[in-house]
Chains A and B, each alone.
Chain A
Amino acid sequence: MSDQLVIEATGLRKEFRGRKGTRVAVDDLDLAVPAGGVHGFLGPNGSGKTTTIRMLLGLARATRGEMRLFGQQVPAHLPAVIDRVGAVVESPKFSPHFSGRRNLLLLSRSIGAPDRQVDQAIETVGLTGRDRDRYKSYSLGMKQRLAIAATLLKDPQLLILDEPTNGLDPAGIREIRETIRDLGARGVTVLLSSHILAEVQQVCTSATIIGNGRLLASGKVDDLVGGTAAAYAVTVPDQAAARRALTDAGLATTPTETGLRVESDDPARITRTLGAAEIWLTGLTPLRRDLESVFLELTEADTLGQHTTAPGGAA
């Protein structure tokens, strides 16, 4: 296993035994998160993301498999690395009758951090002025901020955030996004589990997609969505003439609200064909696949039981 990896998991499996039998939440999952940057952790509801995170943090025991954080085997050596890991798992969980400040003070004192660290964390997440109010009076967004403040008490090198923007207003989402970006830029490795795929695409440098507890794809975000566009949006004054010319040249086209969608990875061929027909372009936009479409393709295929190989990554 590489020293460059902050999180490594191999053959991870988690079974839940209940009255109705055994349910497999995570099945032979491999996970590798390199040091630095923001790594997205994606999957539909119930795909095993939170269970995986909980196993990494020692809150749940793996049925099978091996996990390492900063090269240390966990949960056996978790105490040696837990001070370097900040985490928000699922919804924020604090004592509802204590103020936000008191909740943070208890946590910071348990690791011997000075009380002023609490003030700094409260200020960083913008809770100054409400920090002495009871936690139960907080909105969901404020609870999320408090949970993020708690992760900052340790000055972590690895931040694991499970749906951190849940309940935040657009301004709050933007703030958190910027905070995550800043942390990533400062060398903190962030594992971001989120359903908001556009957000993941904006913030993350790499991502892992899982479905039904299994790895579907993993790699750099650019590789996952495909490096070059496979289609272009063409805007022209005479749509019908342009369509005829492109079809005659052997290019598949589809009319859209604003123009034509042309299936080709060669923009020069499109411009040459239209130029030869004396049709002058007013717009040519590459149509890239986004993370959402990759995610839906992978997870839908997984639901149908197909084997999927992601571009540029493991499957």
Chain B
Amino acid sequence: MIRLLRVELTRLRWRRAVLLLVAAAIVIPTIILAARAYETRPVSDADRADAQEQADVELGFQREQIERCLQAPRQFGIAPDNAERQCERRLSYPVDPEQYLYREQLRLDSELSGAGLAVVAVVAVLMLLAGTTYVGHDWGSGSMSNQLLFESRRLRVWGAKALAVGLLALGVGLVALAVFWGGLLAFAQARDLDPSGQVVTDVAQQAGRGLAMIVAAAVGGYALTTMVRSTVFTIGVLFGVSVAGGLLFGALLPDGALRFEPATNALAVVKGEVTWYVEPPADCAVVVYDMTTTDSDRCATQARLTQRGGAVYYGVLLLALGSASAASYRRRDVP
């Protein structure tokens, strides 16, 4: 098995499409990191000078308007006898250069539900494509049959390939998340914004859960493509599920569709919990001002999905897909 695993890892390493996806999975989080670092950069002297300049322009415009008001007060709806006092009162307002210096501050806890999720989503999709294209190529080129002429224990081959894809996703996910979160942490420290120990713990936990989702996406992509034997078909299935799946769930379960949507469950796993608004039954004659204020569970206006619920959803999905894929690989004729 170790020998097969090494061969599959070598095969992955030699696949150019996989290498491109791996490169993208490292580069894109780095770009997101750079973008977040830039958007939250500290205010510089140049920024202050620029803000002062904008404030001066604004003050000049204000002065100009007051002058015009004094010359033609009726155009501003002011009686001429009272113009000097009223023009000043109506058109004058305080202008502070600070108003032009608004800059979001780097906060790791905010990034947890923002860019942190985006990074996990991007890397997961790229690793799913890596798992898909890796085995899709084996089917497309026909080289799968050649491989089985050298190792006929099909489940071993399936397992070695799945393990190789999982290890690749684990390694790439680890690097991508380490680059992103490590970079943000370094920027925060460099800006004297030392995050609390709790935030660092939250980041580590979310990164761990994100990593699990990245590995699951890669292995899931591999398992599905091994079963349907085509990269294009797999991408079609995933696209179909993402478009038609929501509509189908919506039609079948009008009140609980979100609970079963892949994105909701993925969010629950990575964030730890996800909540959304639900319409209470008509007989819940309660005027709800606060979404969390309900008279009973039945009349609740907020649905909640825990990390455990999401993990069970994906666990069952992956187990079913993996079993079907391995069984199909073991039994079906190989072209």
Residues on A facing B (Cβ under 8 Å):
54, 57-61, 75, 78-79, 82, 85, 87, 89, 91, 93-98, 102-103, 105-107, 109-112, 150, 153-154
Q: How far is the CA of A169 from the CA of B313 in the complex (A)?
A: 59
Which of B4, B143, B150, B334 sits near A95, CB closer than 8 Å? B143
28 contacts between A and B (CB under 8 A): A57-B152, A59-B333, A60-B333, A61-B331, A78-B152, A79-B152, A79-B153, A82-B150, A82-B152, A87-B149, A89-B145, A89-B149, A93-B145, A93-B146, A94-B141, A94-B143, A94-B146, A95-B141, A96-B141, A97-B15, A106-B7, A106-B147, A107-B147, A109-B3, A109-B6, A110-B147, A111-B150, A150-B146
User: Which residues of B approach A to under 8 Å, CB–CB?
Assistant: 3-4, 6-7, 10-11, 14-16, 137-138, 141-143, 145-153, 331, 333-334
- Give the docked Cα–Cα distance between A103 and B152 (Å): 18
Q: Which residue of A is nearest B11, CB measured? A: A106
Q: Is the pair B141, A109 in contact by a Cβ cutoff of 8 Å?
A: no
How far does the alpha carbon of A103 sit from the alpha carbon of B141 in the complex, in Å? 12
Q: Which residue of B lies closest to A59 (CB)?
A: B334
By a CB distance below 8 angstroms, the chain A residues around B4 are 110
With A59-B148, A110-B147 already in contact, the answer to whether A93 and B153 are too (CB < 8 A) is: no
Collect the chain B residues with CB atoms within 8 Å of residue A87's CB. Answer: 149
- Other than the given A98-B14, A107-B147, A150-B146, 13 more pairs (CB < 8 A) read A57-B149, A59-B334, A79-B153, A82-B152, A91-B142, A93-B141, A94-B143, A94-B146, A97-B16, A102-B14, A105-B10, A106-B10, A153-B150
Instruction: Using A54-B333, A75-B152, A95-B137 as known contacts, say yes or no to A109 and B143 having CB atoms under 8 A apart.
Output: no
By beta carbon, the residue of chain B nearest A109 is B7
**Contact in complex: A60, B150 (CB < 8 Å):** no
Counting chain B CB atoms within 10 Å of each CB, the highest count among A60, A93, A97, A107 belongs to A93
Give Cα A54 to B146, complex, Å.
11
The residue in A58, A109, A110 that gathers the most chain B C-beta atoms within 10 A of its C-beta is A110
Q: Smallest Cβ distance from B150 to chain A, in angstroms?
A: 5
Q: With A82-B149, A106-B11, A107-B147 as known contacts, state yes or no: A112 contacts B3, CB within 8 Å.
A: yes
Q: Give complex CA distance A105, B7 in Å.
A: 9
Nearest CB in chain A: distance from B61 CB, A: 64
Q: Write out the residue numbers on chain B whose beta carbons fall within 8 Å of the beta carbon of A95.
A: 11, 137-138, 141, 143
Residues of chain B within 8 A (CB-CB) of A60 are 333-334
